[in-house]
Each structure stands twice: as C-alpha cells, then as structure tokens.
Amino acid sequence: MHNLKHHPRRQNNIGIGRKLAGMDGGADSVHLTNGVSMPEYIPNASHFINLQCPTCGAGLQVAGQKNQFACDHCGNRYLLDRKLADFDAAEREQLKPSVTYTQHLQQWLRVGEYEVCLHRISVETVNKEQVLYIDVAYRNQSATALTCRHDQWIVFDSEGYTYEPVKDFDYRELYDGNGKRYVGMSRLITPGMRLRGWLAFLVPASTTIEYLQFSGGIPAKTVEFELQLGPQ
C-alpha cells in the first residue's frame, strides 16, 4: 500500500554525508611534470566536520562547505539553512535541520523544538471516499510547553495540490466510527508529555500522493515523508 520502510540500511543517494573523509581537499602540495609545477589534489581531513545524525545518532563526517548531507545508516537526508562550517560546536551537537527527507516509518524525528513519529499509514475507502490515514505521535523533551496542531500535517499530490486533515466533528465516521481516535485540533504538551492519535485526509482516488509534510517551530522547519502513493 505504501513504500515507506522500517529502518532499512540504504545507500547514500546524494553523496554528501560520509563516515570516512573523501576527496575534498585543496592544492596543498605540488609535483613537477616536465619542469612545470602542477597542483596535486589530495584529501584534506580538516575540511570535514564530525557530527551525529540528527535521527539515529550515527557518527558522520561531512564537508564543512556543504549545507546538506545524508546518513548511510538510517537513509535520511538533511538540508541546513547555512553551511555546516558556519555552525558553532554547540549548534552541531543539537543540529536542527531546516528540512529532513525520509522514506521510513517509526522514527523519532527532530523538527525544530518538536519530536514527531509517523507510526502507520493506511489508505481506506469509507462511504465511497478515499481516505489517507496517518497515526502520528509527539513527545516533548524540551524545557517548555509545545502546542501540537492538526494543521501542522499537510499532504501534497504530484500536481502540487495540498490536502489538510479533516476534523472529527465534521467527519466523525472517519474517526470514532472507524476505530481511530482523532489527535485533536490543538493540544498543549508540557515537558515530558506525549501525544498520539490519527489524522484523516480526504484525497481523490485518481490522485498520486507525493509527500506528507510536518512543519513546526519559528522559523518553520519541516520533515518531508516521501510517499509516492498512486491511485488505488
């Protein structure tokens, strides 16, 4: 029904995040060829910065001049709002990517001050309507209260149209009537609390669902779940 996977090991498909330093050095030495001085391209480990994957904690070495990287261990990709070298050491220890791209379920993902998890996805027909269901969770490991809103979750189709989750008081048959507890329009969770529930999206049966997006924080940061769910 969907192509999200449960933590498989994937190849790095943008070639930026590394566990070992690669060829990203400069002309730090020369050699002579027919009496002409030629630059020699050599690896320079100082151009790489050690950090941990924001999702799985795997150790990575990433080129400091890059603003994006990937993790070979969990397969997630990350986009930063500036070059990695422009972050200080404290920021790198608690790195908050502007965008996280993933194809996996059941991962806790850091999105600004939020931590969210997409537990399950299903596409069902209810009263002749196609419904995309998502089972989502929040946890608050920060020092302040967080507001969790149902409109933080948006679905994008392949043509760029978007769909918001419907409310339970408008479509009770999609939630309690179908054994799924609505996560709520807006909930406040204090430090140490968790929140979990379902959201339902009414999506035309002919539509290809491309992304599920969660956004949170100021300035907004997002996670993009790459779905690619075709017509049923």
pLDDT string in tens for the chain (232-residue length): 455 554 443 333 323 232 222 223 333 322 333 344 434 434 444 589 999 999 999 999 999 999 999 999 999 999 999 999 999 999 998 899 999 999 999 999 999 999 999 999 999 999 999 999 999 999 999 999 999 999 999 999 999 999 999 999 999 999 988 899 999 999 999 999 999 999 999 999 999 999 999 999 888 999 999 998 877 6
Q: Are 50 and 61 in contact (CB under 8 A)?
A: yes
Task: Single out the residue in 67, 87, 104 at which a domain terminates.
Answer: 104
Looking at the fold, whether 198 and 85 belong to one and the same domain comes out as no
Task: Single out the residue in 45, 79, 104 at which a domain terminates.
Answer: 104
Task: Single out the residue in 76, 104, 132 at which a domain terminates.
Answer: 104
Q: What is the CATH number of the domain that holds 186?
A: 2.60.40.1240
By CB atoms closer than 10 A (0-12, 13-18, 19+), residue 218 is exposed
Domain range for residue 121?
106-232
Looking at the fold, whether 172 and 204 belong to one and the same domain comes out as yes
Distance from C-alpha of 105 to C-alpha of 3, rounded to nearest angstrom: 10
Looking at the fold, whether 98 and 183 belong to one and the same domain comes out as no
Q: Are 211 and 173 in contact (CB under 8 A)?
A: no
Q: Which residue has the tokens 């608690």?
A: 94
Coil, helix or strand at residue 181? coil
Looking at the fold, whether 92 and 125 belong to one and the same domain comes out as no
Distance from C-alpha of 71 to C-alpha of 113, rounded to nearest angstrom: 21
Distance from C-alpha of 218 to C-alpha of 66, rounded to nearest angstrom: 23
| Number of domains observed in the structure of the chain | 2
**In the prediction, which pLDDT does 178 show?**
87
**In the prediction, which pLDDT does 11 show?**
34
Residues in the chain: 232
Q: Where are the beta strands (DSSP E) in 128-172?
A: 129-139, 146-149, 153-157, 162-163
Distance from C-alpha of 164 to C-alpha of 223, rounded to nearest angstrom: 16
